Structure formats: C-alpha cells, structure tokens
Amino acid sequence: MAFRICSALCAAVGLLLAGSATADMSLSSSNNPAAALDSSLARLFQAEKVALDSVPADRLVSLVTLPAGVPELRYDAKWLAEQPEASGGAEWECLAQALYFEARGETVKGQFAVAEVILNRAASPRFPGSVCEVISQGTGQRYQCQFTYNCDGRAETIAEPRAYERVGKVAKIMLDGAPRNLTGGATFYHSRTVSPRWARAFMRTASIGEHLFYRRPIRVSSN
C-alpha cells in the first residue's frame, strides 16, 4: 500500500547526543566540542551513553518518570491493542488523522516515531506552536505543504476504521506525555521510496520501518 510522504524541508533542533530535548545548541568553531569538556565529565558522558546504548529502545521508557496516567510504553501491536479506545479534542484529532494518512501501514514503533516528529515540531520555536498548526502548515497550493496528504488533491477519507482506532491510541498516548526516545529529536522524515536532495544536508537520526528521520546539523558559531 502506498502512502503519501512528508517531503517538505523542515528545520530541526540541535542535539549533541540523541535525545528528546528541542532547544538549539551553538558551538564555537574554534574548539573541538569533545575537547572542550573537562576530561572527567567527558568520561562520565561516554559511560552514560554506553549504558543507554545497551538498553533496547522499547525499554528506555523505564528510565524515565512518566506523567500520571501514561502507561509504560511498549512498541508492539499486542500492547497497543490492550490500551483503551482513545478520543480527544482538536489536537488529538489532528494528530490521529496525520498518523492515519502518513503512517497507518507502519509498525507500531514507526507510528510512534512519526508522532514524535510532529510533537517535536510543535515544541520547536521554528514551527507553529500547536499540533494542528504544524500539520496544516503550508501555502495552500498543491504539494506546497509540510504533510502532503493535506495538499495532494485527494479526499481525506478514513476508510479503515480499525487502523484509525490504532493510530488514535498512539496519538492519545503521545499527547498525554509519553517520552520521545525514538528519533533523536528529529523534526522531519521521508519514506525509503524517495531520496530527496535536502536529506543530504541533514543529520539522519533514526531508521524506523519505512521512514528515515532527520534533524538539522548542530549550528556552529563563528565567534
């Protein structure tokens, strides 16, 4: 099944290590960033990174204090099926629809990853401040929007209610405050079926299912 692709160039957050923070980071071009750290602090960071790298991605959530009411997150279909049917307001509906049209054929992990990108954008000062505004961002002209299902000229019809129910659960869990550990702060992605030119200039942060995820490289200051 072919799905429509998010292919617009998007700005992203700068992170020294992959994570869920969304603030930009500037580094002096006159110093090696690694050498600028105190040696003992650098060793501590490296030890923590090695420890985290040894933990499967679907268990990293156990290292995070979850908001009240958010279930322990597991990226598998059985776990998702056990979660209660979801509903919500405008933000939930916007996110659920975006996941349906962008990622309903993805694995559960892939659907959570796409949701991360949208929420990372909403948290970034480079993008509109709400989920609905992020998803609808664009010029209004054909193929001139951030998520092409909004401007490809096709009717946005929910024809697979069971798939919509599944992505609705993903949307609810993420909006309720689940951690964003999968994509390394990515704010854009594309399908494996295409190779856009903009992807060559950006840092790939994750490869999940049928999508590749990216963020803007760390900005280097000339001062």
C-alpha torsion sign, points 196, 109, 56, 183: positive
Is 210 within a domain? yes
Is 66 within a domain? yes
DSSP H helices in 54-160: 77-82, 90-103, 108-123, 131-136
Mean pLDDT is lowest, of 5-14, 111-120, 188-197, for 5-14
How many structural domains does the chain have?
A: 1
Is 156 within a domain? yes
Q: Please report the DSSP string for 185-200 in residue order.
A: T--EEEETT---GGGG
CB 144 within 8 Å of CB 138: yes
Is 6 within a domain? no
What are the tens digits of pLDDT across the range 51-97?
445 545 444 443 445 677 777 889 999 999 999 999 999 999 999 99
Q: Kindly report the pTM of this predicted structure.
A: 0.68
Through-space distance between the first and last CA atoms of the chain, rounded to whole angstroms? 50
Is 21 within a domain? no
Is 8 within a domain? no
Domain of residue 204, residue span:
32-221
